[in-house]
Amino acid sequence: MGQLQISRHLRFVALIALVWAYPALAQQNLAQQTLAFTHVTVIDGPNSIPRADQTVVIRGNRIVAVGSSRSTRIPAGARVVEGGGKFIIPGLWDMHVHTDAPAGRELLALYVANGVTGVRDMAGDWTTVKTFREDIAQGRLAGPRILASGPYLEGGDVPIPHILTRNPDEARAGVDSLVRLGVDFVKVHGQLMRDSYFAIARRARERGIPFAGHVPHIVGAAAASDSGQRSIEHILSIPVSCTAAESLALRPRFTIQGALGRCSSLDLAPLYTRFVQNQTWVTPTFVALYEIAVWPGRAVPGDSLAPYLPDTLKRFVAKIFPMPDSIFPDDDFVGRAIFGKRLAQVATMHRAGVRILTGTDAPLRNSPPGFGLHEELLLLSRGGLSNAEILRAATLEPARYFGMLDSAGAIAPGQLADVVLLDANPLLDIRNTRRIAAVVANGRLYQARDRARLLRSATQLNP
**What are the boundaries of each domain within the chain?**
3-10+92-404
Sheet strands (E) in 199-266: 211-213, 231-233
Q: Are 147 and 129 contacting, i.e. CB atoms less than 8 angstroms apart?
A: no
Band the pLDDT of 281: cuts 50, 70, 90.
Answer: very high
* Geometric angle at alpha carbon 201, from 195 and 202, rounded to 5°: 90
Give me the pLDDT at residue 201, please.
99
Confidence of residue 235 (pLDDT cuts 50, 70, 90): confident
Task: Give the CA diameter of the chain.
Answer: 68
pLDDT in tens, 72-131: 999 999 999 999 999 999 999 999 999 998 889 999 999 999 999 999 999 999 999 999
DSSP category for residue 60: T
Q: What do you get for the CA distance between the two ends of the chain, in Å?
A: 55
Highest mean pLDDT among 46-50, 156-160, 428-432: 428-432
Residue of higher predicted confidence among 306 and 182: 182
CB-CB contact of 238 with 268 (8 Å): yes
pTM of the model: 0.90
133/22 Cα distance (integer angstroms): 10
pLDDT score at 45: 86
| Percent residues over pLDDT 70 in the chain | 80
Q: Average pLDDT in the 14-30 region?
A: 50
Would you give the distance in Å from CA 20 to the centre of its chain? 16
- What CATH architecture does domain 3-10+92-404 belong to? Alpha-Beta Barrel (3.20)
